[in-house]
Amino acid sequence: MSCSEQRHFRVSSGISVVLIINAMHKYFFDMRQLNPDHLQAFTLVCELGSFSAAAERLAVSQPAISMQIRQLEQRFGVRLIERVGRQARPTSAGEDLLLHAQAVVASLAGVDAGMARHHAGVTGRLRLGTGATACIYLLPAVLRTLRERFPELDISVTTANTNEVLKGVEDNLLDLGFVTLPASGRAFAIEPVLSDSFVAIGPAEGAPLPKRVSPATLATRPLVLYASGGNTRRLVDAWFLRAGLNVRPAMELDSVEAIKQLVGAGLGYALLPGIALRGAQSLAVRPLQPTLSRTLALVLRRDKPLTTGLRALVDGLRGLAPPR
């Protein structure tokens, strides 16, 4: 190849590359400019067989529909609609476009519906962290009501001690905490909801308990207590310490139901939140002297957006408070 031929090839190739790049830019720009409203109008004209019927369905004028179809035809450089008698029907190119347009319109309708549900706060996922006792005895009625109101809402519940729940809320792994106080942190909005008094329990057939049970009385008996590490156990330990007693339980368990079963079987005595003893019949239940109670509170990040679903869950938990 001569030098002049090489220069000509380079120039021609350069021009060709520029033309290809310009064509690609135009294609992608045109794709971005493809108006979904035009596709919807085109789809309706094909389905209804009439420009005026499509205009009526979309609550626009017939000339507006005609202009949208004309702009689509100009964009693709082909005829998309033809009149056969009084019917407007797609051409061969129009039939091909219709397959794609119907999919686009259906997809966009799904997007609108999905986002509308999220905007209303009736879909998506709510993540609640709480203690096992509250989960068993307080949450079922609240969550049932919430599910009836918002059947598409996905509600997950994680049981853990207060510190673990606070960490989950702080890291935004949980949307809401319902925990035993104390709880603290600059990132949190903390709202006390419910005060829950502790009671002493023993086996119905065992050594009887006095009408009011003191730390000294329980310290002489085999104790079945919550496992250490959580706020509820710390409150119990502090109750004994205020009386100058440092007790060592015979058993430590994470499950309030397991504690009740073991006590009922005559294997020990326990201190439990009052909510866990509602309706108990096979146990001896007595109030404490001095009294001991715990406070359950809502914990949210201060910057947490309140969707309709999350607000309903917060309101449901607030409703657990006794009437004033």
151 vs 119, residue with greater confidence: 151
Average per-residue pLDDT for the chain: 86
Domains annotated on the chain, with CATH: 34-119 (1.10.10.10), 124-193+295-318 (3.40.190.10), 195-294 (3.40.190.290)
Q: What residue type is 165 in one-letter code?
A: V
| Spatial contact of 253 and 227, defined as CB atoms under 8 Å apart | yes
pLDDT (0 to 100) of residue 13: 45
Going 268 to 272 to 276 to 282, the CA torsion angle's sign is positive
Q: How many CB atoms within 10 Å of residue 278?
A: 7
- In order of 9, 39, 121, 231, 239, the CA distances from 111 in angstroms are 50, 16, 15, 45, 56
pLDDT tens string 204-218: 887 889 999 999 999
Q: What is the pLDDT of residue 124?
A: 79
Whether the pTM exceeds 0.75: the reply is no
- The 10s digit of each residue's pLDDT in 71-87 is 988 888 999 999 888 89
116 has pLDDT over 80: no
52 Cα distance to chain centroid? 45
Work out the percent of the chain whose per-residue pLDDT is above 90. Answer: 59
